[in-house]
Amino acid sequence: MFITDIRKEFYDVVTNQRVALLVAADIDAVCACKILQVLFHCDQVQYTLVPVAGWQDLSTAFLEHKEQFQYFVLLNCGANVDLLEMLQPDDDSVFFICDTHRPVDVVNVYNDSQIKLLIKQDDDLGVPSYDEIFRDDEEDGDSGNESDEGSEPSGKRRRFEEGAVERRIERQRAKREWEGRRREILFDYEQYEYHGTSAAMMLFELAWVLTKDTKDMLWWAVIGLTDQWVHDKITHMKYVTDVATMQRHVSRHNHRNEDEENSLSIDCMRISFEYDLRLTLYQHWSLYESICNSCYTSCHFKLWTLNGQKKLQEFLADMGLPLKQVRQKFHSMDMAIKGNLRDVIEESSNKYGMKDIRVQTFGVHFGFKNRFLASDMVHATAALLESTEKDDSASDNFLKALDSLSRGNLDRLHLGIDLAKKKLMAIQQTVASCICTNLIVSQGPFLYCYLMEGTPDVKLFSKPMALILLCKYLLKAFVHSTRNKRCKLLPLVMAAPKDVEKGSVIVVGIPPESETSDKKNFFGRAFEKAAESTSSRTLHDHFDTSSKIDLSSSNAALQTLRPSLRQTLGGGLLFISSAASVLEALSFCFVISCLNRFFVCCWRM
Partner 1 sequence: DPLTLHSSAKAEGRSDLIASIKLRHCCLLRNQRCVTAYLYDRLLRIRALRWEYGSVLPANVRFHMCAEEVQWFSQYKKSLASFMRSLGGGEGLDITQDMKPPKSLYIEVRCLKDHGEFEIDDGTVILLKKNSQHFLPRWKCEQLIRQGVLEHVMS
Q: Which residues bind partner 1 (CB under 8 A)?
A: 18, 37-38, 40-41, 44-51, 64-65, 67-68, 393, 395-396, 398-399, 403, 406, 408
Which residue, 17 or 559, has its beta carbon nearer to partner 1?
17
* Residue 540: count of CB within 10 angstroms of its CB: 17
How far apart CA 78 and CA 200 sit, in angstroms, is: 16
How, if at all, do strands 94-98 and 115-117 pair? parallel
**Do residues 224 and 372 make contact, with C-beta atoms less than 8 angstroms apart?**
no
Closest distance between partner 1 and the C-beta of residue 400, in Å?
Answer: 10
Longest CA pairwise span in the chain (Å): 107
Cβ partners under 8 Å of residue 592, min gap 6: none
Sign, Cα dihedral of 574, 576, 577, 579: positive
Which residue, 43 or 453, has its beta carbon nearer to partner 1?
43
Closest distance between partner 1 and the C-beta of residue 524, in Å?
Answer: 29
Intra-chain end-to-end CA distance of the chain, in Å: 43
Residue 103, preceding peptide bond in cis (omega within 30° of 0): yes
How far apart CA 267 and CA 306 sit, in angstroms, is: 46
Which residue, 16 or 554, has its beta carbon nearer to partner 1?
16
Closest distance between partner 1 and the C-beta of residue 314, in Å?
Answer: 48
What number of CA atoms fall less than 13 Å from residue 157's CA on the CB side? 9
Closest distance between partner 1 and the C-beta of residue 45, in Å?
Answer: 7
Closest distance between partner 1 and the C-beta of residue 18, in Å?
Answer: 6
How far apart CA 407 and CA 323 sit, in angstroms, is: 34
Closest distance between partner 1 and the C-beta of residue 319, in Å?
Answer: 42
| Interaxial angle between packed helices 374-385 and 410-436, expressed in degrees from 0 to 180 and rounded to the nearest 10 | 80
How far apart CA 467 and CA 465 sit, in angstroms, is: 5
Which residue, 394 or 487, has its beta carbon nearer to partner 1?
394
Which residue, 220 or 523, has its beta carbon nearer to partner 1?
220
Which residue, 61 or 345, has its beta carbon nearer to partner 1?
61
What number of CA atoms fall less than 13 Å from residue 552's CA on the CB side? 12
Which residue, 366 or 450, has its beta carbon nearer to partner 1?
366
Closest distance between partner 1 and the C-beta of residue 207, in Å?
Answer: 15
Which residue, 41 or 502, has its beta carbon nearer to partner 1?
41
In 530-583, the DSSP E strands lie at: 538-539, 547-550
Closest distance between partner 1 and the C-beta of residue 16, in Å?
Answer: 12
